[in-house]
Amino acid sequence: MSVLISILAFLVAISVLVAVHEFGHFIVARMLGVKVLRYSIGFGRVLLSWRPRGETEYAISALPLGGYVKLLDEREGEVPPEERHRAFNRQAIWRRAAILAAGPAFNFLFALLAYWIVYVTGIPGVKPVVGPVAPNTPAAVAGIHEKDTILAVNGSPTPTWQATNLALLSAVVDKQSLRLQVQGPGKAAKRTVSLHYGDIKSLTRPGKLLSGLGLSNWAPPIAAVIGKVDSDTAAAHAGLQRNDRILDIDGHAISDWKQVQKYVKQRPGQRLMLTVARGQKRLKIPVVLESKVVDGKPVGLLGVTPTIPPNYGKDMVAYMHYGPLEAVGQAATRTGQMIALTAVVSYRMVVGQVSLSNLSSPIAIAQYAGSWAQAGLVYFLYFLAIISVSLGFLNILPIPLLDGGQLLFLGVEAVQRRPVSEQTEAIAQRVGLSLLVLLLGFAVFNDLSRLIHP
């Protein structure tokens, strides 16, 4: 079911964003008097088509992994003399450039609109309260302590961990210094600390930013009471039951669930002696842990989950919620941040300063789409905004086959005062296709590696 949801969410996301992108080309072409022959969502064989006004064919095609707008163009077929003034190739350079740039521009506008809706509706997040700080890390050296709340990064407010991660990543990839405003528990005084980090390549590996800086997410403690015992696991075989309270393991006193997780994780395949309280009884239960390889290392598995109390973590929730006018500024700022971050990360990857493991294929996008869709509509819209920025940025890259490549050809045409030759354009298209296939192959390899070695 999870796989099906991911596939459906991915198809919805791609269809919506491609429709927006192609609508940009479509509407600007129409505004500039260029005839649009077909507006299609998907490639390949047309499954469904209609002509509401007789001129433009609207179509749904078989392969829902893209789309296109087909314009009247003398390079692609015979054009009647009376319609040549409406052909794309007959337009002034600025008109053709406007039509090509409209696709990515509409993706950016969609992101702005999506962020605005999200902020007006309100999206919950987790307050950026710091968990245990790893010793000898930038956070520890800077004097950040467990239960400190991160209020701002380089002056940008950080109401949630999501906002904190974005601000930290933006600063790191831009090689900026990190100045964090933090506050201890209760009414402790606010203070500003500076984090000094080293190589950004290791920090920009997926999932390594916070741990590389020595930060972690604090969570309220959970009592060491078993809520569920998974079938055919070490716990089930040992006879552990729901509502058992773990008092100690191998003589080491246990006060919360995190201690259970840490002790078990460090002992794959070992035999442990658990002391549990079951009702009025106190029992000694031996358990032989299972072992699973995670990130190349074996970890111990018990096969239980804790009892989560009602309203657990309610005090840790923060809402990003703004009025309609304020949300416009917040949405514009976030869209600009995402465009700038995407540009800087892309540049850093090209020059080898950011890990190429950040490249993701449709496999990872589908996984994220499924997760965000299951979280709720507002979360899925937030995800669409992020992907829309990525799609818009990808299309303005100067790679033949993409809008940016066509804009590059127009720039050459403006300089040399004649179009690029068909032979040169054909060679460039093949090179561009090869580059895109290579990038896609590398991204698929990244995603498959993450699936095999999570």
Write out the catalytic residue numbers. Answer: 22
C-beta separation of 368 from 383 below 8 A: yes
Helix, strand, or coil here: 281?
strand
Residue in 242, 301, 446 with CA at minimum distance from that of residue 361: 446
Integer CA distances (angstroms), 10 to 17, 205, 389, in order: 11, 24, 16
CA distance 38 to 56: 5
C-beta separation of 233 from 197 below 8 A: no
- Concatenating the DSSP letter of every residue in 157-212 gives E--SHHHHHHHHHHHHHTT--EEEEEE-STTPPEEEEEE----HHHHTSTT-HHHH
Name the DSSP letter for residue 35.
P
Give backbone dihedrals phi and psi of 234, rounded to 5 degrees, phi first: -60, -40
**Beta partners for 273?**
286
Residue 247 CB contacts under 8 Å (≥ 6 apart), including other chains: 224, 253, 254, 275, 276, 277, 282
